[in-house]
């Protein structure tokens, strides 16, 4: 989901390099799964070593959620695009000065971070946490917008197959650690803010103009701030920064599940590197036309083959947990994240409850797109994600495209009015929504 809108309602409610190369998967140069392979419910066991645990669970079919009988994963070549030039240069220039600090409560923090990947070569006993930090500071464009004319969609499905959807305009802005050409690394108006995420409901009518703002800070020990404007009350409320487990209103994601897989304050989490794997991922897909459930294989809501070819990606697998001093009352016992080794985005999540039962699984698909002045990147803030609650038989389906197939506008593609930091990146801007 764009900024955790339903969660908030529930509380109050490295480039000029545009080309690509095909990755060599092993010493012989042979792909681990030959392009053209079709994986189905009949032959999936031959390929389960390339599946996250949660995907295996869906194919096994022992839960309420399972792969539809006609589910199909069409495998293509693995495409490795270079990281944006600015991001790669920042990594090379600044990463040597980054230091990991151990905090009194047992967590970690960063010192000396400026921009790029803080730990391009993670290793040692803290490798898992270094990878988590790389995920937090993965490349993203400094401005991503979905306009009211082409809003993104958020849908939920219950165990009876009932579907409800919202459409919202959305503004995601990076105010510091920016590496895009022509943009300041730190905006003069940043005021300690790292990233802001603004979203306003456009549909349905009865929720129209309900608006939320999430603020993430340069000080990583500071919990993200959340604000909401509700039309009925005509006022802005700040929500509790500590309420990180409240489910979304009608959805299955908590506040820590947003920001494309993880939005928790990383100093309060440990992360252990479980290993490195190759998994199937859907990155180079064509934007489908239609709102969920169109172009999804139902009743699970899995992307149909028409989306595009899956590829085999090299990932780090990390086990993320709240540090003991912060763990009491937390919703998840562990969060297993499958982080792409090349561009640091999460591609899959396995979420366990406090009794270590597999509770939720999530398929995350950052869509490869062209960023103005940068070139093709594998993570451009255009995405699709599906969260399945295996224990309660709920599903949540979020995507940054509208019913006509339009996706987000990036950096200079966005109309000039969305450069208004006061309006779209501050709590005061929420009070202007209905003026």
Task: Quick: pLDDT tens for 136-185.
Answer: 999 999 999 999 999 999 999 998 999 999 999 999 999 999 999 999 99
Give SS3 for 12. Answer: coil
User: Taking the mean position of all CA atoms in its chain, how far away is CA 268?
Assistant: 19
The H-or-E segment that residue 128 falls in is helix 127-136
Q: Which of 412, 358, 360, 405 is nearest to 384 (CA)?
A: 405
Q: Is the pLDDT of residue 102 over 50?
A: yes
What percentage of the chain has pLDDT greater than the value 90?
A: 78
Residue 141 falls within a domain, yes or no? yes
> What is the pLDDT confidence band of residue 417, given thresholds at 50, 70 and 90?
very high
pLDDT tens, 260-317?
Answer: 999 999 999 999 999 999 999 999 998 988 889 999 999 999 999 999 999 999 999 9
User: Which structure tokens are listed for 22?
Assistant: 């095909």
CA neighbours within 13 Å on the CB side: how many for 188?
1
Residue 293: asked if its preceding bond is cis (omega within 30°), the reply is yes
- Residue 116: domain span: 5-430
Pairing label, strands 163-174, 193-203: antiparallel
Q: Which of 376, 369, 353 is nearest to 407 (CA)?
A: 369
Tokens representing residue 10 in the block: 């529930």
Mean local confidence (pLDDT), 33-50 = 97
Q: Kindly write down the DSSP assignment for every residue of 211-232, as one continuous string.
A: EEEEEEESSTTSPPEEEEEETT
435 domain residue, yes or no? no
- Residue by residue, DSSP assigns 161-205 as --EEEEEEEEEEEE-SS--STTS-SS-TT-TTEEEEEEEEEEESG
Tokens 């988590």 correspond to what residue?
A: 132
172-184 residue pLDDT tens: 999 999 999 999 9
Q: For residue 122, tell me if it sits in a domain.
A: yes
Mean pLDDT of the chain: 90
Q: Which SS3 state, helix, strand or coil, does residue 409 take?
A: strand
Q: How many angstroms separate the CA atoms of 74 and 285, rounded?
A: 12
**What's the token pair of residue 229?**
């404007």
370 belongs to a structural domain: yes
Are 283 and 311 a contacting pair, CB within 8 Å?
yes
| 167, part of any domain | yes
Q: What per-residue string of b and e applies to 269-305 under the rule 16 or more CB within 10 Å gives b?
A: bbbbbeeebbbbbbbbbebbeebbbebbbeebbbbbe
The three-state DSSP-derived secondary structure of 91-126 is HHHHHHHCEEEECCCCCEEEECCCCCCCCCCCCCCC
249 pLDDT tier (thresholds 50, 70, 90): low
Q: How confident is the model at residue 240 (pLDDT cuts 50, 70, 90)?
A: confident
The CATH number of the domain holding residue 138 is 2.50.20.10
Q: Is residue 47 assigned to a domain?
A: yes
- What per-residue confidence (pLDDT) applies to 17? 30
Handedness of CA 322, 10, 408, 428 (dihedral sign): negative
Residues 392 and 198 sit within 8 Å (Cβ to Cβ): no
Q: What gap in Å lies between CA 108 and CA 126, rounded to an integer? A: 9
Number of domains in the chain: 1
Report the Cα 425 to chain-centroid distance in Å. Answer: 19
Q: How far apart are the first and last CA of the chain?
A: 26
Q: Is residue 239 part of a domain?
A: yes
Residue 113 tokens, joined? 């971070």
3-state class of 203 per DSSP?
strand
Q: DSSP letter at 355?
A: T
57 domain-assigned: yes
Cα separation values, 97 from 13, 116, 137, 186, 377, Å: 43, 12, 15, 18, 26
Whether the Cβ atoms of residue 154 and residue 291 lie closer than 8 Å to each other: no
Closest CA to 114 of 9, 184, 36: 184
Three-state SS at 63? coil
Of the listed ranges 83-92, 122-131, 200-209, the one predicted with least confidence: 200-209
The pLDDT assigned to 252 comes to 81
Phi, psi of 75 (to 5 degrees): -95, 135
What is this structure's pTM? 0.92
């Amino acid at each position: 989901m764009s900024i955790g809108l339903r969660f908030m309602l529930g509380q109050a409610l490295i480039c000029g390099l545009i080309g690509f190369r095909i990755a060599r998967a092993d010493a012989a140069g042979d792909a681990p799964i030959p392009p053209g392979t079709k994986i189905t419910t009949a032959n999936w066991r031959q390929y389960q070593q390339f599946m996250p645990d949660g995907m295996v669970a869906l194919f096994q079919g022992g839960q309420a959620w399972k792969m539809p009988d006609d589910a199909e994963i069409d495998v293509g070549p693995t495409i490795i695009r270079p990281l944006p030039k600015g991001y790669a240069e920042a990594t090379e220039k600044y990463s040597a000065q980054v230091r990991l600090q151990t905090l009194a409560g047992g967590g970690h923090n960063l010192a000396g971070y400026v921009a790029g990947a803080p730990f391009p070569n993670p290793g040692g006993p803290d490798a898992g946490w270094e990878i988590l930090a790389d995920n937090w500071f993965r490349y993203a464009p400094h401005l991503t917008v979905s306009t009211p004319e082409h809003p993104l969609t958020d849908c939920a499905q219950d165990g009876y197959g009932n579907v409800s959807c919202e459409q919202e305009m959305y503004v995601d802005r990076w105010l510091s650690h920016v590496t895009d050409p022509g943009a300041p690394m730190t905006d003069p108006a940043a005021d300690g803010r790292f990233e802001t995420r603004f979203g306003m409901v456009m549909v349905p009518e009865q929720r129209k103009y309900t608006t939320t703002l999430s603020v993430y800070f340069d000080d990583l020990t500071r919990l993200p701030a959340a604000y909401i404007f509700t039309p009925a009350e005509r006022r802005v409320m700040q929500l509790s920064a500590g309420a990180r487990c409240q489910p979304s209103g009608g959805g299955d994601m908590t506040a820590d599940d947003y920001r494309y897989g993880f939005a928790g304050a990383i100093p309060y989490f440990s992360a252990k590197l479980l290993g490195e794997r190759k998994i199937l991922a859907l990155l180079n897909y064509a934007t489908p036309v239609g709102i969920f459930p169109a172009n999804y294989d139902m009743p699970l809501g899995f992307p149909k083959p028409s989306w595009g070819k899956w590829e085999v990606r090299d990932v780090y697998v990390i086990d993320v947990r709240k540090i003991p001093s912060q763990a009491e009352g937390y919703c998840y016992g562990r969060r297993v994240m499958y982080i792409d080794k090349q561009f640091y985005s999460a591609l899959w999540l396995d979420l366990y409850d406090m009794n270590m039962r597999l509770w939720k699984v999530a398929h995350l698909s950052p869509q490869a797109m062209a960023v103005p002045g940068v070139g093709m990147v594998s993570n451009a803030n255009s995405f699709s994600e599906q969260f399945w609650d295996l224990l309660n038989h709920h599903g949540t389906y979020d995507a940054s495209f509208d019913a006509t197939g339009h996706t987000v506008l990036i950096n200079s593609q966005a109309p000039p009015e969305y450069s208004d930091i006061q309006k779209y990146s501050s709590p005061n801007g929420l009070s202007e929504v209905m003026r």
